[in-house]
Structure 1
Amino acid sequence: MKQFTLTLLLLIGLTEFTYAQNFYARRRDRNWALSAGIGQSIYVGELYTPLFDKSAGFTPNVGVGLRRKITDQLSVRFDINYYQIAAADSLAAQASFTLGGGDQENDSRNERNLSFRSHNFEFSSQFIFNLIPIDGPYSYRPDLNIYAIAGIGVTTNNPRGLDIASGNMVNLRKLNTEALEEPYSGLALVIPLGMGIRIKANQFTDIVLEGTGRITFNDYLDDASTLYPSEQEVRDYHVANGTGLADLAARMYDRAPEKGFGEREKGSIRGNPEYNDYYFFFQVRLEMYLSDTAFGGIFASKKTARRLR
């Protein structure tokens, strides 16, 4: 984080020095902005919930984005993010909680003993709506502006788990641990929603603080969603499809025996299919406004490009 802060300050100083005496650069509007940053991610699903688990499983993320101004309040940004998410039943709170009917139920996730870690890429298009309109060129923007984010995107989805027999991380999706007719997809549709604060650092650079959640249309970010199949069903799938993974899948679909608990019976609860999984980003970004001659002219007509020279 210290290295990132130092780099951030150096970049801000460099942009200020480069354009400090360029009068016309300040007068021209800059409709494109390039951003890059780092932050933390957190997953919410069958293996972690903020309602019962006190320790949040924060994991790193990095992202880059290219934003285009559309109106004085609206812009669109194209984002690429690399992020990690992870959780483990062994870290569950082990709480007792009251169900709707008043019955007490114990948190048995520690006994279930599932865990995962996932390294994913997300690609998205996001609309950004500024609370304060920017009347005139970019140099007229306020020192601080709050904005809302909404968009659509897609993320890769290949959760991995530790096979204690070999000590290797293995792809859980390929193991089809719930013996589905077809393994769930390695891609998932997401809807980014959130808020951000843009702070003017100098004439050409902003510091951006963002918090965004991802509504997903997938309940398998953590490889758990429905009920336990039988071991034979898991083996039958891999034998029928010639994957050569039957023994590995039989070890990984039910992790309870690793902690000395009995094997799960077919039909036992493994997850909750009524709710999809979610994940959240918290990022700090440096956003730099790009000159029309350096970038915008590529997308302009020949007549416009000549006028910008």
Structure 2
Amino acid sequence: MPVTIKLPLMPKFIAGFLLLFITINTNAQTWEIGGALGAAGYIGDLNVNNPVKPSGAFAGLFVKRNFNRYLAAKLSYSFAQISGADSTSSSQQFRDRNLSFKTPLQELSLMAEFNFMSYIPDAGKNKYTPYIYAGAGITSYAPKATTQAGNVIGLRGLQTEGQASPYATKAIVVPFGAGLKYNFSGKWTVAADLGYRFTTTDYLDDVSGLYASPASLPNATAVKLADRSGEKTGVYIGTPGTQRGDFKPRDFYMFVGFTISYTFVTSACYY
């Protein structure tokens, strides 16, 4: 009897693109490998106004298939940390709320990349080109908070907004961005780019909707971390049913930095 293995939607999606990634046959194919390093930022309930505010670092590795001088597919793994703290906000309303978080991110993504100029390192007339990219991927996240005593506490299991169950550990992401690459030596390329990730979660920061009733929270730690407004003043403003988050349905994060890569140029590329 045949056995059917059911894969989640996102792995199926990536597997399909991987098949395309491996089997497409065009002229001037080249493989490229590289790494990335830079800053990570977050846009969400604790940072609603600044889309280019770094709050952590990121590093990554990637492999790319250049199908021709303009179009490529890139498989990338990135590790990052993002954070936010109301105490650093210019808004008194945010400072009064006094929430904060840090979360590590692990992202696996597959992206299409388009060069605006004909570009193959060590094989083309152009030493540089601007480019854009977009794709899809999956990221894991695990927001944590540091208590007044200095203890780091995971927030998901505390269900700080009175959720019926903890939110997911992973989210689908849609990366998109732009950059500039430069062939600085032989088959080596350096690039600078800025990219954003649209996510399918509003809980990168553990903040989304309303303050919950303390009676609906699972334990005393959840009560303390759900409303931190009175930690310094002794006056707590988190009345159950009042606004805790910004009511926007999704959080974003961004990567800005540099990549360096080596391209394995085939002889066909010179023609």
Question: Which of the five TM-score ranges fits, normalised by the shorter chain?
Answer: 0.7 to 0.9
User: Which of 239, 259, 267 pairs up with 2:232?
Assistant: 259
Judge conservation of contact 1:225–1:271 (CA < 8 Å) in 2. yes
Shift of 1:168: 1.2
Does residue 1:59 correspond to 2:32, yes or no? no
Does residue 1:272 correspond to 2:256, yes or no? no
Name the CA distance, whole Å, in 1 between partners of 2:93 and 2:82: 22
Shift of 1:37: 2.1
Shift of 1:71: 3.1
Shift of 1:57: 4.1
Show the 5 A alignment for 1:149-298: 149-165=133-149, 167-235=150-218, 246-260=219-233, 261-290=235-264
Partner letter of residue 250 of structure 1?
V
Name the CA distance, whole Å, in 1 between partners of 2:198 and 2:70: 24
User: Which of 97, 100, 105 pairs up with 1:115?
Assistant: 100
Shift of 1:265: 1.3
Judge conservation of contact 1:130–1:145 (CA < 8 Å) in 2. yes
Shift of 1:213: 0.8
Shift of 1:117: 0.7
Name the CA distance, whole Å, in 1 between partners of 2:129 and 2:262: 15
Does residue 1:133 correspond to 2:118, yes or no? yes
Partner letter of residue 216 of structure 1?
T
- Other-structure match for 1:4: none
CA deviations 1:83-112 (Å, max 9, x no partner) are 111110111102xxxxxxxxxxxx511111
Judge conservation of contact 1:30–1:138 (CA < 8 Å) in 2. no
Residues 137/111 of structure 1: CA separation in 2 closer, same or farther (3 Å cut)? closer
Residues 256/153 of structure 1: CA separation in 2 closer, same or farther (3 Å cut)? same
Residues 200/263 of structure 1: CA separation in 2 closer, same or farther (3 Å cut)? same
Higher Cα Rg: structure 1 or 2? 1
Name stretches of at least 5 consecutive residues in structure 2 with no aligned partner: 1-27, 267-271
Judge conservation of contact 1:41–1:61 (CA < 8 Å) in 2. yes
Equivalenced residues, count: 240
- Other-structure match for 2:13: none
Shift of 1:56: 3.3
Does residue 1:85 correspond to 2:82, yes or no? yes
Q: State the SS of the aligned residue for 1:108.
A: helix
Q: State the SS of the aligned residue for 1:249.
A: helix
Higher strand proportion: 2
Name the CA distance, whole Å, in 1 between partners of 2:75 and 2:242: 43
| TM-score, scaled to structure 1 | 0.73
Name the CA distance, whole Å, in 2 between partners of 1:229 and 1:50: 25
Partner letter of residue 93 of structure 1?
S
Judge conservation of contact 1:132–1:146 (CA < 8 Å) in 2. yes
Q: State the SS of the aligned residue for 1:201.
A: strand
Judge conservation of contact 2:227–2:236 (CA < 8 Å) in 1. no
Q: State the SS of the aligned residue for 1:256.
A: coil
Name the CA distance, whole Å, in 1 between partners of 2:124 and 2:264: 15
Higher helix proportion: 1
- Other-structure match for 2:18: none
CA deviations 1:16-43 (Å, max 9, x no partner) are xxxxxxxxxxxxx661000112101111
Name the CA distance, whole Å, in 2 between partners of 1:269 and 1:122: 31
Show the 5 A alignment for 1:136-147: 139-140=123-124, 142-147=126-131
Partner letter of residue 75 of structure 1?
A
Shift of 1:290: 2.9
Shift of 1:141: 5.5
Name the CA distance, whole Å, in 1 between partners of 2:236 and 2:127: 61
Name the CA distance, whole Å, in 2 between partners of 1:87 and 1:258: 17
Judge conservation of contact 1:124–1:154 (CA < 8 Å) in 2. yes
Judge conservation of contact 1:193–1:212 (CA < 8 Å) in 2. yes
Q: State the SS of the aligned residue for 1:283.
A: strand
Judge conservation of contact 1:219–1:273 (CA < 8 Å) in 2. no
Judge conservation of contact 1:225–1:272 (CA < 8 Å) in 2. yes
| TM-score, scaled to structure 2 | 0.82
Q: Is 29-38 or 194-203 further displaced after alignment?
A: 29-38
Residues 284/141 of structure 1: CA separation in 2 closer, same or farther (3 Å cut)? farther
Shift of 1:273: 2.7
Judge conservation of contact 1:111–1:259 (CA < 8 Å) in 2. no
Judge conservation of contact 2:87–2:98 (CA < 8 Å) in 1. yes
